[in-house]
Amino acid sequence: MPRKRKTRDQDGLYRRTDSPYWWASYTDASGRRTRQSTGTADRQEAEAILSKWRLDAHRAKHWGEQPTRLFDELMLPYIEYVFREKRQARCAIRYAAANLYEAFSGSDLTTLTSTEVRTYVAQRRTQGVGASTINKEIGLFSAAIGYAQREWGWDIPNPARGCRQREPEGRVRWITRAQAENLIDEAGKEPRAPHLPDLIRIAVNTGMRRAELLWLEWSRVDLESRLIYLEARHTKAGRRRSVPLNRNAYQAIVGRKQFRDEHAPASPWVFCRRSGNRIGDVKNSFASACARAGIEDFHLHDLRHTCAAWLAQAGVPLAQIRDLLGHSTIKVTERYAHLAPENARGTVEVLDHESRFGHVGGCTEGKDPVPSALTS
């Protein structure tokens, strides 16, 4: 990864080419050099923030004082960090951060308790917010605290830990191959979205996420090896993986290359407009294609479910589906296990080969066993 270029000042403030804010470099109470974003592009405000951090470090080192750690001091630089490292998650992060700010802005993290966080959770539930959304917000808060503890040496508790809510079983909405072909045909009728048929083909044949597709650069496509390379910063799980291209996905990628070569040969994006700019969203055009195809309650992410469903129905082991889709754990992949009933059928049919099971529990063949609890 290329090094971030810095423009340093004499007083400990500097600019980075990948950030709009002033960054600060100072020595913390333990004597460790700390570098972090001030979260502001205003020079005077950045100077004031750095002065406070230095004063806090001095008091902690010489007087043993625990400095005040405000929620705002944590979240502003942390969100900037996440935006740089996980650019595809910006919308979700903005939404989660906005709700957290409304509740915790100005709070001192050294005294914030889990009771206050649980009160926030209860309020969100009374607002009709689902467990999944609440967990994203709590997860962002907890991750920010962990980052500050690890990278900045902040001695603060993590009141968000243990506040996650039980989520209902994940949505599994998928379509048949015939429906998919019909959807692709209808997508081809979108005059303002010539990219949509190829996007659907690649999504349903690779299981890639929306952001992984729309942020895909040509530098990560290997047509000769028929592979797409995803680095950790491109994936939700934060782990790199390679995605193989079958014939259908390969032909769709080639179609995108022909479009790029004809209209915007300098564009780095696989899904670009004639101008070469990256395509940011396909929600409206996809919804229109679904409506014409007569497919209800179907979203772009459901193409990923469709890919997994087809694989499970074909008997592909769940571990292989997990690796292809980049799931964080096998538990996530297990939501598709019920789509392969023949696997379970083959398991129980093994019992037919054991003749002694004709008299299970002392029952004669053709008669149901009577539970002992009902005969006592």
Would you list the DSSP string of 242-292? EEE--HHHHHHHHHHHHHHHHH-TT--BSSB-TTSPBP---HHHHHHHHHH
Q: At residue 165, does pLDDT exceed 90?
A: no
197: Cα separation from own chain's centroid: 24
| CA atoms 91, 95, 98, 104: torsion sign | negative
Q: At residue 220, does pLDDT exceed 80?
A: yes
What distance in Å separates the CA atoms of residue 158 and residue 49, rounded to the nearest whole number?
Answer: 23
Proportion of the chain in helix, strand, coil states, percent, rounded to 5: 55, 10, 35
| pLDDT band for position 42 (cuts 50, 70, 90) | confident
The 10 Å Cβ neighbour count of residue 212 is 23
Q: At residue 314, does pLDDT exceed 80?
A: yes
C-alpha distances in Å from residue 297, one per residue of 201, 248, 305, 352: 19, 25, 13, 42
pLDDT at 284: 93
Q: At residue 27, does pLDDT exceed 90?
A: no
Residue predicted with more confidence, 130 or 340: 130
Are 368 and 360 a contacting pair, CB within 8 Å?
no
Q: Give the domains, in start order, of the chain with CATH numbers.
A: 6-152 (1.10.150), 177-341 (1.10.443.10)
User: What average pLDDT does the segment 216-233 reach?
Assistant: 92
pLDDT at 366: 46
CA distance between the termini of the chain: 72
Question: Which of 17-31, 148-162, 335-349 has the lowest average pLDDT?
Answer: 335-349
Residue predicted with more confidence, 279 or 336: 279
Question: Which of 34-38, 79-83, 226-230, 337-341 has the lowest average pLDDT?
Answer: 337-341
Q: At residue 371, does pLDDT exceed 50?
A: no
| CA atoms 164, 169, 172, 173: torsion sign | negative
Are 272 and 282 a contacting pair, CB within 8 Å?
no
pLDDT at 82: 83
pLDDT at 219: 95
pLDDT at 237: 73
What tens digit of pLDDT does each residue of 239-269 get?
889 999 999 999 999 999 999 999 999 999 9
As a whole-number percent, the residues of the chain with pLDDT over 70 amount to: 84
What distance in Å separates the CA atoms of residue 295 and residue 272, rounded to the nearest whole number?
Answer: 26
Q: At residue 113, does pLDDT exceed 60?
A: yes
Q: At residue 290, does pLDDT exceed 90?
A: yes
The 10 Å Cβ neighbour count of residue 132 is 12
The 10 Å Cβ neighbour count of residue 162 is 11
What distance in Å separates the CA atoms of residue 225 and residue 361, rounded to the nearest whole number?
Answer: 57
Q: At residue 202, does pLDDT exceed 60?
A: yes
Angle at 213 between CA 212 and CA 215, to 5 degrees: 70
User: What average pLDDT does the segment 151-174 reach?
Assistant: 84
> SS3 for 13?
strand
pLDDT at 375: 40
| pLDDT band for position 88 (cuts 50, 70, 90) | low
Mean pLDDT of the chain: 83
Question: Which of 105-119, 130-144, 147-161, 346-360 has the lowest average pLDDT?
Answer: 346-360
Question: Which of 24-38, 132-146, 206-220, 317-331 has the lowest average pLDDT?
Answer: 24-38
Backbone phi, then psi, for 217, in 5-degree steps? Answer: -105, 150
User: What average pLDDT does the segment 144-156 reach?
Assistant: 88
Residue predicted with more confidence, 35 or 373: 35
> Global pTM?
0.61
